[in-house]
Amino acid sequence: MSSKKMWSGRFSSDTDEIASGFHSSISFDCRLYREDILGSIAHARMLGKTGIIEKQDSESIISGLRGILKDIESGIIEFSGNDEDIHMNIERLLTQRIGEAGKKLHTARSRNDQVALDTRMYIRKACINTSGLLKSLMGVLTEISEENFDTVMPGFTHLQKAQPTTLAHHLMAYCEMFFRDCMRFGSAFEACDVMPLGSGALCSTTFPIDREMVAKELGFSEITNNSMDAVSDRDFVLDFLYASSVCMMHLSRFCEEIVLWSTGEFSFIHLSDSYSTGSSIMPQKKNPDMAELIRGKTGRVYGDLFTLLAVMKSLPMAYNKDMQEDKEALFDAYDTLSDCLTVFTGMIQSAEWDFANMRRSAGLGFTNATDAADYLAKKGMPFREAHETVGKLVLYCEQNKKAIEELDIKELKSLSPLFEEDIYDAISLDTCVEKRSCYGGPNEESVKKHIARMKEFLIQ
């Protein structure tokens, strides 16, 4: 392959060898090969239809590009670092294969709008794939939830036991988070779904191109409105990185709870051996390393977002080479999130739950105290006064090492004459859950409605 740069006409000496390697992006942007070729095929077809190049040349270019795509996917093409990036590599290969006609492909096009097109196409695909992984996880969570409407467990605030809830209610809280993640990736898709080709380097082109034709062939909903913005915009990459960061944050929160729940102090969940590791020195250990790694990798994806924010913060119009730094951050975030979603889904699907421990834990820590206060309020006591009364009741229980339900009616009446025998049913764990029947709460019918909504979304 020739060592001559395809842009070398203006230069009188070769690029320094170290500088050439520093400048090259083929080591990572090679993964854009498919988007680049499909974009080039659409561009070549448009050039032929509009008469900008001969139809025969257009057909030759399209045939050559399809052959290159087939050979790349067959693993018989090795890219050259001398040609800097995937765009130059493919153009060089095309010219070598079909001759002079290959040199006409870049008519009415710049690498600036070419790379913007490739990246938008790549992120559209990434959004679809990521949403698919999220839906798979949400499907697993809804399945587990449907089996655990009556699995009582403690709910926490400030990492202190607060009120009883159910495993179904708790897991569906995360399902709701992942639903919002799907919405964010949907918005990121829409941000990408605007076709920039035809913007040229920054001021479009003097050739009579048909941008709508190219957009239609590539499946874009619309075309960009301003050529300078089109080549210098990376907001759509930031949208994807932001959606990825928030999704990783949700996974990290879930992993934090799994790490806690798998300890001997909680013993709510037992992770499969397939998703756990051991210790090199302590033979008894079974560590939740997958959950911990996902939690740790969250910072990595945050870093990808901040990398591009920092790159873009002071760039003048229009394209600047700094923007090449978007690719590694994008690819790393996508790869990391995809791996984490896949591993997490397998980990939670194969886990076993200790229902007895969860219920036992829910019965400790006065999680039914709010229900005792509600009981008094329903008897006519102002809630603030009821709150104070039950606070004193809890203090009495702590001093006497008893749970509220272990007090006899005489002890209860010593704090308020409104207490009657029906208090014991009112503060049972099952009642505490089932009486919270307004939509969004842990009541079985409420959670069933939530699951039904999620299932409707998952089949779309």
Show which residues are catalytic. Answer: 158, 279
3-state secondary structure of 277: strand
Helix (H) / strand (E) containing 161: strand 160-166
Alpha-helix runs per DSSP H in 99-201: 111-146, 167-192
Rounded CA separation 387/168 (Å)? 28
CA 153 to chain centre: 28
| Both structure tokens of 261 | 């729940």
- Alpha-carbon distance of 68 to 73, in angstroms, equals 9
Check if the beta carbon of residue 103 is closer than 8 Å to that of residue 81. no
Read out DSSP for 385-405? HHHHHHHHHHHHHHHHT--GG
Q: Which of 122, 351, 317, 331 is nearest to 232 (CA)?
A: 317
Under 8 Å CB-to-CB from 338, ≥6 apart: which residues?
A: 129, 130, 133
